[in-house]
Structure 1
Amino acid sequence: CVDGGDIAVLTMPWIDYMGPRKPRTVLQSIGLGHLGTCIPYCIGAKLAKPGARVFSITGDGSFLFNVQELDTAIKQETPFVVLIADNCCWGMIKNAEKRAFKKREAFCVDICSDYVKIAKGFGCHAERVEKPLDLKPAIQRAVDSGRPAVLQVPIRFVSPPGAKILASLRELQF
């Protein structure tokens, strides 16, 4: 299978967890990340290795950067599975608001988009997966569909481990 991921905060731990992989089986963004690479990476991976199963993990904000490429995936008949870790916010902005405004948030309200409807609108297989035990069968249904597939998985918002450290650097005057 070919894996990809465009959540910078999760990419490095994911690489550590997965361990060694065969050459040319992982596409990932590292460092500051490449927002929106999920769907284009999946299409490219599937075209490069038509017989491989292609999976990607992305965040809800990043997913929207190139969501229109689901149309390309349908037209090119490139099946893959995208798992959206949906915390109903743009984490970078929410963290900044928490630091700047303490308890009040200006732009990050917990109104969640329906990515299942969006994906189905393009002709993709799509499901919302609420429980961890439902994830494996949902992934199997997505693979079995033979189409690009989107699994929306609600998660709770947590600040990345390094956020407090990075925020404290502001206090140092270089």
Structure 2
Amino acid sequence: AFVEAFARRKPAAKPVWAAEIEKAHAAYLEWSTPPQTGPGAVHMGPIIEHLGKVLPEDAILTNGAGNYATWVHRFYRNRRFGTQAAPTSGSMGYGTPAAVAAQSLFPDRTVIAFAGDGCFLMNGQEFATAVQYDLPIIVIVVNNGIYGTIRMHQEREYPSRVVGTELKNPDFAALARAHGGHGETVEKTADFAPAFERARASGKPAIVEIKLDPEAITPTRTITQIRQKL
């Protein structure tokens, strides 16, 4: 009752702290506006920006753990409560099974899973579950051929001493088709929008594989810059 009554109240005058709110909001918009360029032919900034424009407000985004998730958390502007499922414990492999669960619970909503290549290979077999139960999730696999977060720490603490972070990956789009789903491969930024629309139009569980340059390790630093401690 208190909340309902409070919601109906209007301030008598413009609050004295209104300017601070506007300043804080402007800072948020600046911080959450993605860069449009970066290393390689595929740039995650325009991709996240595109998703923010085309996804419905109630779309559910899931992800596991990895540097790729930074792009989602920082630059995708959630507009509704209950539209993100992400691991507070930083668990790799969470995104795909979380998307399966979310699509099961909310069959009429769009569900997008983000996964790094190493992250997807932790629990990617759950894509078969999505196919089995006709759950049209779209898994965006950000494939840079490495365990990105671990590699970042290696380069920062032990420059050029790379140990066990390179990956030999399957063709993720072909893997989706092998399961009976839809598969797309994105090798340049302009490829993403039509590939994503084809995945949605298929009505099937889908994988959209993004071939990301490993140098694009964070939105603000490359591997080379981290190695050189710039």
Same fold (TM over 0.5): yes
Gaps of 5+ in 1: 169-174
- Using the TM superposition, give the Cα deviation of residue 77 of structure 1 relative to its aligned residue in structure 2, in angstroms: 0.8
- Corresponding residue to 2:92 among 30, 35, 45: 35
Paired with 1:94 and 1:107, the residues of 2 have a C-alpha distance of 9
- Corresponding residue to 1:69 among 122, 126, 150: 126
- Corresponding residue to 2:82 among 24, 28, 35: 24
* Number of equivalent positions: 165
After superposition, where does 1:25-174 map in structure 2 within 5 Å?
A: 25-30=83-88, 33-98=90-155, 102-103=159-160, 105-109=162-166, 111-158=168-215, 159-160=217-218
Q: How well do the aligned residues superpose, as a CA RMSD in angstroms?
A: 2.8
SS in structure 2 opposite 1:151? strand
Gaps of 5+ in 2: 1-58
SS in structure 1 opposite 2:118? helix
Paired with 2:145 and 2:71, the residues of 1 have a C-alpha distance of 22
Q: Match of 1:14?
A: 72
- Asked whether the equivalents of residues 11 and 29 of structure 1 are also in contact (C-alpha less than 8 Å), the reply is no
Note closer, same or farther for the CA distance 1:102–1:7 as it changes in structure 2 (3 Å cut): same
The one-letter amino acid of 2:86's match is Q
The one-letter amino acid of 1:21's match is R
Paired with 1:157 and 1:148, the residues of 2 have a C-alpha distance of 27
TM-score (norm 1): 0.80
- Using the TM superposition, give the Cα deviation of residue 55 of structure 1 relative to its aligned residue in structure 2, in angstroms: 1.0
- Using the TM superposition, give the Cα deviation of residue 62 of structure 1 relative to its aligned residue in structure 2, in angstroms: 0.2
Paired with 2:78 and 2:95, the residues of 1 have a C-alpha distance of 21
- Using the TM superposition, give the Cα deviation of residue 140 of structure 1 relative to its aligned residue in structure 2, in angstroms: 0.7
Q: Match of 2:20?
A: none
The one-letter amino acid of 1:23's match is F
Note closer, same or farther for the CA distance 1:3–1:93 as it changes in structure 2 (3 Å cut): closer
Paired with 1:110 and 1:12, the residues of 2 have a C-alpha distance of 20
